[in-house]
Chain A
Amino acid sequence: MSAAPRPEQPAPSPLAPVTDDPDTGGFFTAAAAGQVALRYCADCGALLHLPRAYCYHCGSWNSGYRVVAPRARVYSWTVVEHQIHPAYPVPYTVALVELADEPAARLVSFLPGRPELYAGQELHAWFNQAADGSTVVQWRPEGSEPPVREVS
């Protein structure tokens, strides 16, 4: 039995987001349609980010997603050099971005390699569809192409 060769390990898949969570699913529904959308209170207009159902500002349970511009600025970043997960080979960069329309809302993005970044640098959204059908919003510097090796 010990002589039997081990089967090749299949290439690991990137981590895919749960897209049907009752509080956050709308973000991923919008992403699948190629839009960046944030959750807002329908009564007082307060931003509800990270997405949740109840607005403590005015006591409302009425909220919905509103499309915002697919533009953001670099807030911070880290270049990951130590391998953690086989689906995320190093080096790669994780950027923390603030949305152009809504600086109080931040998201994170994968960027391949070690791109030259600076605080305040303008980024544009792109929509990274995974094999399982889910879509992740990623960000890249203006003028750059989506990475060849997509991550999700």
Chain B
Amino acid sequence: MNDTDWQAGACAIAGIGTTDFSRNSGRSDLTLATQAVLAALHDAGLDASAIDGIVRCDMDLVRHNDLAEALGIRQLTYWGECGPGGVAPCAMVGQAVGAILSGQASTVVVFRSLNGRSGRRYGAASTAAGQQLVGGNGSYDEFYLPHGLLTAGQMFALMARRHMIEYGSTQEQLGSIAIACRERAQANPAAQMYGRPLTMSDYLSARMISEPLRLFDYCLETDGAAAVVVTGTDRARDCKNGAVLIHAVAQASVPGTQPGIMFPVLMRDSITALSSRAVAELLWSRSRLSPADVDVAQLYDCFTITLLLQLEDYGFAKRGEGGAFAADGGIGLTGQLPCNTSGGHLSEAYIHGMNHVVEAVRQIRGTSTAQVQGAEVSLVTSAPPPASSALILTADR
């Protein structure tokens, strides 16, 4: 891949939309998706007839044809999907760009919808009685599940412990990430944790889930959906709220990436760096920007440790110093890198990385509830372990 081939700013985000975020939506995943897409279309001043492409996350229960039928789309000319799971959102936007620049579609909806609390809860294990065989068929689960390693949180706890071993990171440093996200949520009435501030004392006295990770190191479980409308920049400029430029998008794996869905990444040479270190290298090269140019970031925060590791992977903090960077106020609203300004997964909602894309657009438009004044370079990451993706949005000036 020659980075000079990348067409910076050729496509843009023209519309953003979300549902409300709750613990029990009482609606189907399809209804949530439909509502978020209609909100994004309304935001762009478009109607469903403008859509000819859909990109979904591989874990979404809503298929492209479900959504097309619900919206009354006459004809799709493109559909695609990315994954696994939370790796997808930035890569989904990249896939929409690819579809548009190759002429397969003109206006593409990118969405994520889930009843993550009232429906299928991630991290829950089957409780069926009787012997259960696990693994095989390329999952490699046979090396993990029989030993009681059952959830993403337990895996990230192993990463957090290792970061503590290698660099002396502390629980208070992890707590500072949870608290920063919670502070941002206090300005965001849509956030699930709006009106529920968090102190370090609250954080440290919360129950341990998988040591060293406590309750507030974990993201929320949410029913909701989020969507964006991607189109060519010229077309986006004619939309109601103008164009937010897709300056760069990158997805990348690391050498020795390991197979499977999740746990095999524990076999990689390092478990204190994610594949986002490879995404960062590509993203900075492709964007011709550096960490110092970023005004605001929405970093994937399924757990506090995930955000900490990315501070290092993307070069905002030196290796081993991500915790100190956060604890010293680096991710606060007036810090060097204001992060997760809507509250993130930890305190706004867990829409599997898609609400981060929506908030990154708001920052460029100047409409965030925790606005970074004059933000012109807005970073989003989608970064669980198997692989990662990221996106830089810029102002159309």
Q: How many residues of B contact A (CB 8 A)?
A: 50
Query: In the assembled complex, which residues on chain A have CB atoms less than 8 Å from the CB atom of B264?
Result: 50
Are the C-beta atoms of A50 and B129 separated by less than 8 Å? no
Instruction: Name A17's closest neighbour in chain B (CB-CB).
Output: B142
CB of B166, distance to nearest CB on chain A (Å): 9
Q: Please state if B131 and A131 are interface contacts (CB–CB under 8 Å).
A: yes
Kindly state whether residue B46 has any CB partner on chain A within 8 Å. Answer: no
B136→A21 contact, CB < 8 A? yes
B219 at the interface (CB under 8 A from A): no
Interchain CB contact (< 8 A) of A24 among B123, B131, B142, B158: B142
CB–CB B129/A76 < 8 A:
no
Interface residues of A in 29-70 (CB under 8 A from B): 49-50, 52
Which residues of chain B come closer than 8 Å to A52, judged between CB atoms? 259
B137: CB under 8 A from chain A?
A: yes
Give the bracket for the number of chain A residues in contact with chain B: 35 or more
A52 to B130, CA, bound (A): 30
Q: Does B2 contact A (CB under 8 A)?
A: no
- Looking at B180-188, B209-217, B235-243, the stretch in contact with chain A turns out to be B209-217
3 tightest A-B contacts by CB?
A18-B136, A17-B142, A78-B157
Cβ B127 vs Cβ A94 within 8 A: no
A81 with B209: CB separation less than 8 A: yes
Which stretch in B75-83, B147-155, B384-392 binds the other chain?
A: B147-155
CB pair A88 B150 closer than 8 Å? yes
| Residue contact A88 to B136, C-beta cutoff 8 Å | no
- A79 within 8 A of partner (CB): yes
Instruction: Find chain B residues with CB under 8 A from A138 CB.
Output: 147
Given known contacts A18-B133, A151-B148, A78 and B210 CB-to-CB distance under 8 angstroms:
yes
How distant is the Cα of A27 from the Cα of B130 in the complex, in angstroms?
24
Q: How far is the CB of B132 from chain A (nearest CB, A)?
A: 5
- The 8 Å CB contact of A10, one of B130, B134, B150, B259, is B130
Tell me if B161 and A78 are in contact (CB < 8 A): yes
Confirm or deny: B50 has a beta carbon within 8 angstroms of a beta carbon on chain A. no
- A13 CA / B161 CA spacing, docked (Å): 29
Contact residues in B for A20 (Cβ distance below 8 Å): 136
CB of B133 within 8 A of CB of A84, answer no
Cα separation A108 to B154 with both chains bound (whole Å): 12
Interface assignment of A127: CB less than 8 Å from any CB of chain B: no
Could you name 25 residue pairs across A and B whose Cβ atoms are closer than 8 Å? A14-B146, A15-B133, A17-B135, A17-B143, A18-B133, A19-B142, A23-B138, A50-B258, A50-B264, A50-B267, A76-B161, A79-B208, A79-B211, A80-B148, A84-B124, A84-B151, A85-B148, A94-B148, A96-B162, A105-B267, A108-B143, A108-B144, A108-B149, A108-B266, A131-B131
A106–B267 CB distance below 8 A: yes
CB distance from B361 to the nearest CB of A (A): 35
Interface residues of B (CB under 8 A from A): 123-138, 140, 142-151, 154, 157-159, 161-162, 165, 207-213, 258-260, 263-264, 266-267, 269, 271
Contact A85 B138 (CB under 8 A): no
A28 adjacent to chain B (CB < 8 Å): yes
B266 touches A96 (CB 8 A): yes
Q: Decide if B142 touches A18 in the complex (CB within 8 Å).
A: yes
A151 touches B136 (CB 8 A): no
Given A17-B135, A24-B140, A151-B148, does the pair A94, B161 have CB atoms closer than 8 Å? no
- A contact residues around B131 at 8 Å (CB): 13, 16, 130-132
Contacts of A76 in B (CB 8 A): 158-159, 161-162, 165, 271
B271 to chain A, nearest CB (A): 7
Q: Within 8 Å CB of A13, what residues of B?
A: 129-132
Are A108 and B147 touching (Cβ within 8 A)? Answer: yes
Are A17 and B146 in contact (CB-based, < 8 A)? yes
Q: How far is the CA of A152 from the CA of B271 in the complex (A)?
A: 27
**Contacting residues, chain B, for A106 (C-beta < 8 A):** 266-267
CB closest chain-A residue, reference B144: A108
- Contact across chains for A78 and B212 when beta carbons are under 8 A apart: yes
- Interface core residue of A18, A76, A94, A138 (most chain B CB under 10 Å): A76
- Tell whether A110 is near chain B: CB-to-CB under 8 Å: yes
Considering the complex, give the chain A residue whose CB is closest to the CB of B132.
A15
Chain A residues with CB under 8 Å of B124's CB are: 84
A-chain residues with CB within 8 Å of residue B269 when the two chains form the complex: 104
